[in-house]
């Protein structure tokens, strides 16, 4: 038995047989499919294929359905199909097929999910700006991007995670001037990024009061750009200390990157790219600047123009992104590039994608964008009236998770070591924060709430972690009675068992949908529904007290399958699971 034995997802297998049957009825048949049946039907899957063929075959759908069923013949996947309504074909999986799938999933470290992903995918996420603390949008990007990295790698792609940090731009003129005149060395030693942020904010206040301050910044910027050694050293020091601060966040969240090519990495390519675009007629001069227009046949702008060189000759964020696409193409020849940012950059990426298309790039380009997250006021101490630091927020989540557990244990009289409580708080606290970013349709705006995310009720990480811990304690208890899930026995008695298994068998589809659409919430939803099915199963089906040993074994297997799915699924979202709760 190989670790990676992959299963043909059941719906693929079913659809393959269905399409083969339809192909015997006519040439060039359109693709047809089956789907999970609505609860009011007794079948597991249902297809409206016959209705789809009415216009082509000019027969009544019931007759067509009958012909399809005849053509399907005997299958080892399903029992003889039934017909209902105007011509629906209902499929009920055979006991043998259900057993085969369950055993196959249990025997595989990947739950039988095939590695179908091909080629390299670059994922551009987190991408915070130097000399500023990561703000909430960067945190969301970090968490969603990291989940996508895990999902893409799991389905078989080579992933290049690229942290496109903002380490270049006019703000460095201001930062350097302010650094030279206003820095507080002790404050910098204590928290470098906070100090850089402070002098930056300070500088901007000064500019507001007296715009001539801007000239001082411009001088420093010109010196930096022309290679002045002192300014270059200050600039690199700012990058290094910021990266170091970002790394403490990444380590804590277990987030990884393969490369961190910041914006400055592309500096020496920018002017050449703009010149080439001008020469190729892809960009034009307008009011002294270089821009790309997006116009329809009537000459109307369909999108705002894309500015790639300012009239003072400076390149921009946009120019850097064009260079970045070119570099990624040349370096990794990716099949897909995914960018993860908040909703405010939708226009930017729409424009960018169109520009590089015109330059001949055919790679699939996706902008995975998300809504804004607002933080609750006064939920924890804010420093110097600034936004809370991420570390404070994570500390608070861990503290609350631990506290809740201490209260629970006080009720049951159990004793846990300090270490175990600490580890528990970490897993539940971090899981809660991550899941609150991952479970929503990422495009909706959300409010951060500790109470909601650490609640055992509803679609939360804790609920999933709790369900998995419950299955684990059942499995341990069974083992102490000499009963170990054999991974093969399946004997279905109650409808809840079948529902649970059929849902578990849909893991492959959920993983692939989450990856393909760039929506980790599709996997989160699948796991949440799995946990809900498990709770219904738990209510209806005694496991260790069942009076038939085969049923006991079967229910242990279903519990193990639930456990494995929750653990693997959560790990693909970057979330750990405690052994017990
Ligand atoms: N640093 C940018 C920001 O904070 C995000 C960069 C996203 N990636 C990119 N290739 N443009 O808004």
Burial class (CB in 10 A: 0-12, 13-18, 19+), 415: exposed
pLDDT at 376: 62
- Does residue 162 have its Cβ closer than 6 Å to ligand 1? no
Q: What proportion of the chain, given as a percentage, has pLDDT over 90?
A: 88
Residues in the chain: 581
330 pLDDT more than 50: yes
Q: Could you read off the pLDDT of 416-428 as tens digits, one per residue?
A: 999 999 999 999 9
Longest dimension (CA), the chain: 86
Average pLDDT, the chain: 93
Ligand 1: which of 137, 166, 266, 325 to mutate, judged by most atoms within 8 Å of the beta carbon?
166
DSSP state, residue 166: B
Measured in angstroms, how far is the CA atom of residue 375 from the centroid of ligand 1?
Answer: 21
Q: What is the mean pLDDT of residues 59-81?
A: 95
Question: How distant, in Å, are the alpha carbons of 350, 368, 369, 440 from that of 444?
Answer: 20, 13, 10, 7
Tell me which residue has its CA closest to atom 8 in ligand 1.
Answer: 164
Q: What is the mean pLDDT of residues 371-379?
A: 65
Give the tokens for residue 35.
């789907």
Tell me which residue has its CA closest to atom 5 in ligand 1.
Answer: 127
The CA-based angle 290-293-297, given to 5 degrees, is 150
Q: What are the DSSP calls for 109-132, one per residue?
A: TTTT------SEEEEE----BTTS
d(Cα 569, Cα 158) in Å, to the nearest integer?
A: 19
381 pLDDT more than 80: no
Q: Could you read off the pLDDT of 525-548 as tens digits, one per residue?
A: 999 999 999 999 999 999 999 999
pLDDT at 313: 92
DSSP state, residue 481: T
d(Cα 267, Cα 250) in Å, to the nearest integer?
A: 26
Question: 4: pLDDT confidence band, cut at 50, 70 and 90?
Answer: low
Q: Could you read off the pLDDT of 399-418 as tens digits, one per residue?
A: 999 999 999 999 999 999 99
Q: Could you read off the pLDDT of 255-283 as tens digits, one per residue?
A: 999 999 999 999 999 999 999 999 999 99
The full set of domains in the chain, from first to last, is: 10-93 (3.30.1360.70), 171-239 (no CATH), 429-571 (1.10.730.10)
29 close to 22: Cβ distance less than 8 angstroms:
yes
Give the tokens for residue 408.
């629970």
For residue 90, list its beta bridge partners. Answer: 46, 82
Give the three-state DSSP class for 149.
helix
Residue 223's H or E segment, with its range, is helix 213-225
């Amino acid at each position: 038995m190989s670790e990676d034995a992959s299963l043909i997802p059941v719906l693929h297998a079913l659809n393959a047989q269905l399409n083969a049957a339809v192909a015997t009825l006519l040439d060039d048949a359109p693709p047809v499919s089956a789907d999970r049946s609505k609860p009011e039907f007794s079948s597991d899957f249902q297809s409206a294929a016959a209705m789809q063929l009415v216009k082509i075959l000019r027969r009544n759908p019931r007759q067509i359905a009958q012909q399809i069923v005849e053509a399907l013949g005997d299958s080892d996947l399903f029992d003889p199909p039934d017909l209902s309504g105007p011509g629906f074909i209902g499929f009920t999986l055979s006991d043998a097929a259900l057993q085969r799938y369950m055993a196959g999933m249990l025997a595989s470290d990947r739950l039988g999910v095939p590695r179908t992903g091909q080629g390299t995918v670059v994922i551009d996420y987190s991408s915070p700006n130097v000399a500023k603390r990561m703000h909430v949008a960067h945190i969301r990007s970090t968490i969603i991007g990291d989940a996508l990295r895990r999902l893409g790698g799991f389905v078989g792609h080579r992933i290049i995670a690229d942290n496109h940090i903002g380490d270049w731009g006019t703000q460095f003129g201001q930062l350097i001037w302010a650094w030279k005149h206003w820095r507080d060395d002790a404050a910098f030693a204590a928290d470098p990024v906070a100090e850089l942020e402070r002098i930056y904010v300070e500088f901007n206040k000064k500019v507001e009061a007296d715009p001539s301050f801007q000239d001082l910044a411009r001088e420093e910027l010109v010196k930096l750009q022309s290679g002045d050694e002192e300014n270059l050293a200050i600039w690199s020091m700012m990058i290094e200390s910021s990266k170091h601060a970002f790394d403490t966040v990444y380590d804590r969240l277990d987030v990884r990157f393969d490369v961190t090519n910041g914006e400055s990495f592309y500096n020496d390519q920018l002017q050449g790219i703009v010149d080439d675009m001008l020469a190729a007629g892809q960009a034009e001069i307008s009011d002294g600047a270089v821009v790309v227009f997006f116009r329809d046949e009537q000459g109307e702008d369909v999108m705002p123009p894309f500015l790639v060189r300012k009239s003072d000759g400076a390149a921009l964020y946009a120019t850097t992104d064009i260079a970045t696409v070119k570099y990624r193409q040349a370096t990794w020849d990716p099949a897909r590039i995914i960018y993860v940012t908040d909703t405010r950059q939708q226009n930017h990426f729409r424009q960018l994608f169109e520009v590089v298309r015109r330059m001949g790039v055919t790679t699939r380009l996706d902008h995975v964008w998300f809504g804004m997250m607002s933080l609750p006021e006064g939920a924890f101490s804010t420093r110097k009236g600034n936004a809370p630091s991420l570390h404070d927020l994570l500390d608070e989540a861990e503290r609350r998770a631990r506290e809740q557990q201490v209260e629970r244990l006080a009720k049951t009289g159990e004793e846990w070591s300090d270490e175990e409580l600490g580890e528990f708080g970490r897993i539940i606290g971090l899981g809660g924060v991550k899941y609150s970013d991952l479970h929503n349709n990422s495009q909706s705006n959300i409010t951060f709430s500790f109470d909601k995310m650490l609640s055992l009720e509803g679609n939360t990480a804790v609920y999933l972690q709790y369900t998995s811990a419950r299955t684990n304690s059942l499995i341990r208890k069974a083992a102490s009675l000499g009963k170990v899930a054999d991974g093969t026995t399946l004997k279905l008695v109650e409808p809840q068992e079948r529902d649970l298994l059929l849902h578990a068998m849909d893991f492959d589809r959920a993983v692939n949908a989450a990856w393909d659409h760039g929506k980790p919430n599709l996997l989160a939803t699948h796991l949440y529904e799995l946990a809900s099915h498990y709770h219904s199963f738990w209510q209806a089906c005694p496991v260790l007290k069942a009076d038939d040993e085969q049923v006991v074994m079967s229910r242990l297997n279903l519990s193990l399958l639930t456990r494995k799915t929750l653990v693997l699924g959560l790990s693909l979202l970057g979330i750990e699971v405690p052994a017990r709760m």
